[in-house]
Chain A
């Protein structure tokens, strides 16, 4: 799965699970999404990609590119 595929899937999840219109931008996720939305997104990502984040993974995620990188890494480990 390419980074572009992952971004497409994230945009879809943000729209369907968070009712977030448009793609997530490059800024910090914390500025775009509140804590409940971030938690919702993490759970949706784990369910969709069949991956499991540990606390160390989540601590590295600040923006969209971090998120894509960690998902890609997790998929590679699977």
Chain B
């Protein structure tokens, strides 16, 4: 598979046209739209015709702002058909924060150098405001108008050409455009396929509700399905969030073998799905419930397994995984077809960077072993860390990035990539303890912010997963601030309860507990809280709740959008 590209992979899947293979898009009412691979290839050639007529040529970057519909893959592979570079960006799905969305999306357009943006009617109403905030002129095209264009001959990319740009999650800074070659994305998709049984008569099925602008949705689901080729059922993320049972029903109906999700999704299902929503559901075919993209919780995984074992979920299905967008996606997987591994470690020792097993200590789930061709090393500075110490995780492998698109150097030392994550290896398994830049150091001890944040999740009135612990350097030393988003029914003594909870869990007493309204904490496109940005905004007194968009403002935004789009067209004609 080493010389395959996404273009040749689609061509191959279309030529094979194995029965039952292709992409099945569900809408929120669970109605299907199928795209066989031959149909996808045909539509991509038509989209490419429209893009070529709009001036796109090989090597150009093309932004894609589309929801989880067949249009997304039609356009994505239409861009590939021309040897151009797709740049998937998230659509405006949330109310409020529209100004922030416009500014951030414009920044991403600038950083990826996009002069074309493909969208749909709904999102397109607001894209004018995005492009007007971008530095360069950007032409907006509607996917529907491209579909009817005559097909054009392909300009096939080579394996070492850039296949796509994805933005790193930007937990500690602005999103960076990661440039991945065809060879790299194919390499990552093919190691994910190692989980599939080697049986020519077997047609693997996957299910995903993950956003397609997210590496786990695109590289982790669509590319492996195409490469095998197998079938993949895609659910809009908003449909899953509103009705999580859709995910499990789809896994049952389409006999999903593999489906990944972040930890919170498993907690959401356990909490929100009612028994009657799962009438007739059989989860016994779901062998690989991959859990990644955020810290994995042994408690959440046990609760999910226990809750859904009644519907046939295997006790070995939950599998913690680890990866990062700079490595395309996956780097390590937990052991497949075995119950996940977790160990308990002395909490105080962990805080001082030491790994010391302790039956009464903090439980951490292992994220397993490096995938085929990958390696992981724990370093202290540039040297390997001692075996019993937490260090910075470095990774190498066939899909590790070479550079950012904007020319910024990759954080690499030879073939090794600095992941920016902290962890250790214990009994040959990798454990993640946090991110290097987010560590809070109190009296010489290191604390992962997530530990403090998890402690206040149980305080009544605090929104689960909506707090941020940060260290602030002041003239008198280092202070710990804990930002907590609260609900309307918050108790008067919330601060005291938070202090007690954090102190009990970590031994640290935060210097300040700061109440925030829902939605105030800044987040990355994949939902991770930007702790550094929260602190920066708080210091500058700009950490404010999202602005609800009133009718007048929306009309104004739409008008600005339409004006900017029209102006863009004029500039393009000129």
Taking the nearest CB of chain B, how far is it from the CB of A14, in angstroms? 13
- Cα A62 to Cα B517 with chains together (Å): 14
Residue of B nearest to A46 (CB): B28
Check: B549 CB closer than 8 A to any chain A CB. Answer: yes
- Contact call B95/A58, Cβ cutoff below 8 A: yes
Residues in A with CB closer than 8 Å to B122 are: 55
- Contact call A30/B466, Cβ cutoff below 8 A: no
- Contact call A32/B487, Cβ cutoff below 8 A: yes
Point out the residue from A34, A39, A42 that lies within 8 Å of B518, measured CB to CB: A34
Point out the residue from B242, B519, B550, B554 that lies within 8 Å of A30, measured CB to CB: B519
- Cα A53 to Cα B551 with chains together (Å): 14
- Contact call A59/B545, Cβ cutoff below 8 A: no
Residues in A with CB closer than 8 Å to B170 are: none
User: Across the A-B interface, how many residue pairs have beta carbons closer than 8 Å?
Assistant: 61
Question: Which residues 115-134 in B have Cβ within 8 Å of A in the complex?
Answer: 122, 125-126
- Contact call A30/B545, Cβ cutoff below 8 A: yes
Residue of A nearest to B122 (CB): A55
- Cα A39 to Cα B240 with chains together (Å): 10
Check: A25 CB closer than 8 A to any chain B CB. Answer: yes
Check: A27 CB closer than 8 A to any chain B CB. Answer: yes
Given that A55-B125, A59-B551 are known contacts, is A27 also in contact with B242, CB under 8 Å in the complex? no
Residues in A with CB closer than 8 Å to B518 are: 30-31, 33-35
Tally A residues with Cβ within 8 Å of B: 22
Taking the nearest CB of chain A, how far is it from the CB of B407, in angstroms? 36
Q: Mark A17-45, 1 if CB is under 8 A from B, else 0.
A: 00000000101101111111011101110
- Cα A40 to Cα B522 with chains together (Å): 22
- Cα A38 to Cα B241 with chains together (Å): 10
- Contact call B550/A43, Cβ cutoff below 8 A: no
Can you identify 22 A-B contacts, CB atoms within 8 angstroms?
A27-B488, A28-B548, A30-B96, A30-B517, A30-B519, A30-B545, A30-B546, A30-B548, A31-B487, A32-B487, A34-B463, A34-B487, A35-B519, A40-B241, A40-B243, A43-B239, A43-B243, A55-B122, A55-B125, A56-B554, A58-B95, A59-B95
- B→A interface (CB under 8 Å): 28, 94-96, 122, 125-126, 238-239, 241-243, 268, 463, 466, 487-488, 517-519, 545-546, 548-551, 553-555, 558
